[in-house]
Amino acid sequence: MIVYFSGTGNSRYCAKLLAEWLDDTVLDAIPFIREGRAAELASDAPWIFVAPVYSWQLPHVFADFIRSGSFSGSRDAYFVITCGNDIGAAADGVHALCAEKGFRDQGTLPVVMPENYIAMFQAPEREKALQIIAAARPVLEAAAACIREGKPFPPLRSGPLDRLKSGLINRAFYRFQVKTGPFAAGDACISCGKCERVCPLGTIRMQAGRPVWGARCTHCMACICGCPTGAIEYGRASRGKPRYQCPLEL
């Protein structure tokens, strides 16, 4: 079974491609995360977890979803982690999580997909995004071949810089950067409530026709990038930047 978390669609697209090629079932973790419900799942096929990298680790909300859930049947777990650039030492965190859950760690595969973190960086325009996704396809095909043959993903090496990024910098990122304060909807807001509906943590509430952000947030960029009128900004950091949504859907 393929279980995914996705803010702006890259990981959902990868998960669905793998599901199609492997003729496997696919499940979105977001309803469980939003409702704070522990998953109780069973699969005879290997577990394939697909998610973006957030500050060189699995998103904490997704790791917690796995930690709190029950996954019976197969003990094999593969992790496919999408990233704009690199996943640092995220595979080490995955390995520890597998040990905690009694999974046989069949490896972590980084897949470079378009950058979506417009609270800090620039996201690509559509044409460039499509090129990046086309380059990711053979990587995913190789992943599917490994899974089909029951082989682990190729091993990854992490150096001291990777461990610094996935360790100290990741902790500092969550402590100092992951905030909702700078999110605000401007006059282009049409009160459609899409931001409220797409928030994986259910943190956004419409009040007097405008979104109001609560405290719980994982900076997935679903609200700001999904807004149909581009009305949401993250302080000054997002101004003038293209909003990113995976241009391909399955």
Ligand X SMILES: Cc1cc2nc3c(=O)[nH]c(=O)nc-3n(C[C@H](O)[C@H](O)[C@H](O)COP(=O)(O)O)c2cc1C
Residues that bind ligand X (CB under 6 A): 6-11, 52-56, 82-86, 113-117, 219-221, 246
Quote the least distance from Cβ 140 to ligand X, whole Å: 12
Nearest CB to ligand X, comparing residues 60 and 210: 60
Task: From 16, 5, 98, 90, select the one nearest 50 (Cα to Cα).
Answer: 5
Strand partners, 112: 83
Quote the least distance from Cβ 229 to ligand X, whole Å: 20
Strand partners, 47: 77
Nearest CB to ligand X, comparing residues 46 and 52: 52
Quote the least distance from Cβ 55 to ligand X, whole Å: 5
Quote the least distance from Cβ 93 to ligand X, whole Å: 12
Quote the least distance from Cβ 122 to ligand X, whole Å: 11
